[in-house]
Each structure stands twice: as structure tokens, then as C-alpha cells.
Amino acid sequence: MRSIRIQPEDFDPVAATAALAANNLQVGAVVTFSGIVRRDDGLSALTIEHYPGMTEREIARHVEEAERRWPLLGLAIVHRIGRLVPGENIVLVAVAAVHRHAAFEAAEFLIDYLKTRAPFWKLEERGAATGWVEASENDDSAAARWNPP
């Protein structure tokens, strides 16, 4: 099972994760990452924009790379768009495999990509002030480890 969804609506991480293991007796590990809007730094809202069609194609391309690198049995990516407030879900990456190592590594690979290279644009609101979010140096370093030597 492979599912990639870009949507304004909230999602249920538990249901999305459970669907990966349903009816597949080979699944021995499901690793998930759930991202939520931070409740710190005076952040009042986060607006996420994307280009419909292009975003899904780019994410699918990286999912295919993950499937080439690791023996995966399924995965789900859900990424929200629109205006989100602190405490709301932003993203879910869930990966199923026979063994935990493949599931952990593939989930890390995919979230590192989503944080640094996926075609999403994030606008932070802090009271009346707004500003576009850049990828952090730490996020770039984490993503760079997946590049071939």
C-alpha cells in the first residue's frame, strides 16, 4: 500500500498507521513520524502553500527512491496545506517493513526530504508580523546524509 495525500483537512495518524499493517502478515515494523505546529516562540499560525500536481509528483519521486533503497511493504504520507494553528497536525510519515531498520531509515529519509526539499512554502505568523520559513542548517545536514558519497 502506498498513499500520498496533500490536504487542508486534519488527519488521524492512528488510522493511517493501522491501515499499513492491515491484511499484511509480513509487516513486522511500522515507524511513524507526526509533525505538529509548535506552541512556542509566539507562533500564532503557520500557512503552508504548494503547487498542486507538482508537489505530489515530487513526493512520489522520493517515495520511489525510498522503495529502491529499502524493502518496504507500505507507506503513507499526509501533508496538510492551508492555515494551521499551534497544536494542529502538519505531516505524517508512516513506513511499514518486515524489519525495523528499513522502516526507521526510510521514515527518516522521507521526513528529511519533506523538511528540506519538498515544494512547500511556509509562512509564519507571529502576532502582526509574518515571514517565510527557510530550511534550517540542521535540517539540511540531516538531509545531506542521504546523498551518495
- The residues, any chain, with a CB within 8 Å of residue 106's CB and separated by 6 or more, are 31, 66, 69, 70, 72, 75, 95, 97
pLDDT in tens, 63-120: 999 999 999 999 999 999 999 999 999 999 999 999 999 999 999 999 999 988 889 9
**CB of 14 within 8 A of CB of 74?**
no
Averaged pLDDT for residues 30-34:
95
E-assigned strand segments in the chain? 2-7, 29-36, 45-50, 72-80, 82-84, 89-97, 120-126, 129-132
**CA distance linking residue 52 with residue 39, whole number of Å:** 28
Higher pLDDT, 22 or 101: 101
The predicted pLDDT at position 145 comes to 79
**CA distance linking residue 35 with residue 93, whole number of Å:** 9
Averaged pLDDT for residues 128-148:
78
Which of 39-67 are b and which e, b meaning 16 or more Cβ less than 10 Å from the residue's Cβ? eeeeeeebebebeeeebbebbeebbeebe
Residue 149 has pLDDT above 60, yes or no: no
Fold held by 2-144: Aldehyde Oxidoreductase; domain 3 (3.90.1170)
